[in-house]
Amino acid sequence: MDAVSVGITEVIGRALQLRPEAFGDLHGELHSGGSAARMGIWIALLAGLSQAIGQAFVLFVNRVQPLRFAISLVIEALLFVSGFLGWASSTWLVAWLVFGSREALPALIGALGIAHAPQLFAFFGALPYLGGPILTLLSLWTAIAFVVGVASVADLSPWSAFGSLVVGWLVMYGLQRTAGQPVMALGRWSLDRAAGVPLIRDSRRLESLLQAGALSKREWRR
C-alpha cells in the first residue's frame, strides 16, 4: 500500500501527460503482486468520487439531504469503479480474443484505472458556466489516455487498442441491457436507498422536476 501511495502522484502526473512509459513502468515494476491493479482501482475510485462531485447538482435537484448526499457520493464512486472493472474485463477479453493480446487482466485494469487520471479533475465540472466545457475536455483527454494506456500495456497498435476499448464497451453495454440487468438494478437500488428518494437522473425528467418544483403563488406568499 505504501509503495503504491508513494508512486501514485508521479504515475498520475505521467498519465496526465499521456506518456506511454507511465503505463510501461507499471508493466515492469508494479505488475507483480497486483499493485498495478490496486493503483488503477484507487485512481478510478478517486476519479469516480470527483465525477460524482462534479455532477452533484443532480443530487441537489432531487433534494437529497446532507448525510445521504455524502453517502450517495461514495456509493456513486463505488458504482463507478465496479462499472470500470466490468469494462476493463470486457476490454481485456476482446483484446485477448480478437487482437491476440497476451497481457494479464490485472495489468489492463491497472492501465485503464491510471488512464482515469484526467477525471480526477472532474469535480471542476461543478463550476458554474465553465463546468460543461471542462467536462468535455476531460472526457477527450481521458479517452486518449485510455487508448495510450491499453496500447502500451497490451502491446497493441493504437487502432487495435481503440477497437478493443470500443468493442469492450459494446459488450459491456449489451450485458448491462441483458444478463446484467439485475446488477444494474441493484446499483440503482443502492443509490436510491442511499439518497433516500428515487433519484431522477434523466435530463428531461430533471427539467420537469425543476419546473414542477417552482413554488405556487400561494406558497410564495407564505
Describe the chain by its helix, strand, coil percentages, rounded to 5: 80, 0, 20
Of 102 and 221, the one with the shorter C-beta distance to other proteins is 221
Which of 7, 105, 141, 176 binds other proteins (CB under 8 A)? It is: 141
Grid cell 478493443 in the structure block, residue: 164
- Tell me which stretch binds other proteins (CB under 8 A): 78-86, 91-99, 155-163, 209-217: 209-217
- Alpha-carbon distances, residue 97 vs 27, 44, 182 (angstroms): 21, 25, 27
Does the protein bind other proteins through residue 213 (CB under 8 A)? yes
Element (H, E) at 133: helix 131-153
Binding mask 168-197 for other proteins (x = CB under 8 A): ------------------------------
Binding mask 121-140 for other proteins (x = CB under 8 A): --xx-xxxxxxxx--xx--x
- Tell me which stretch binds other proteins (CB under 8 A): 16-24, 109-117, 155-163, 178-186: 16-24
Does the protein bind other proteins through residue 221 (CB under 8 A)? yes
* Sign of the CA dihedral with 76 first, then 81, 86, and 92 last: positive
Of 69 and 169, the one with the shorter C-beta distance to other proteins is 69
Does the protein bind other proteins through residue 3 (CB under 8 A)? no
Q: Exposed, middle or buried, 5 (CB in 10 Å: 0-12/13-18/19+)?
A: exposed
Measured distance CA(109)–CA(99) in Å, rounded: 17
Query: How many residues sit in the footprint of other proteins (CB under 8 A)?
Result: 37
Of 49-88, binders to other proteins (CB under 8 A) are 57, 59-66, 69
* Burial call 7-42: b when 16+ CB within 10 Å, e when fewer: bbeebbebbbebeeebbebbbeebbeebbbbbbbbb
Binding stretches for other proteins (CB under 8 A): 16-18, 57, 59-66, 69, 123-124, 126-133, 136-137, 140-141, 144, 207, 210-211, 213-215, 217, 220-221
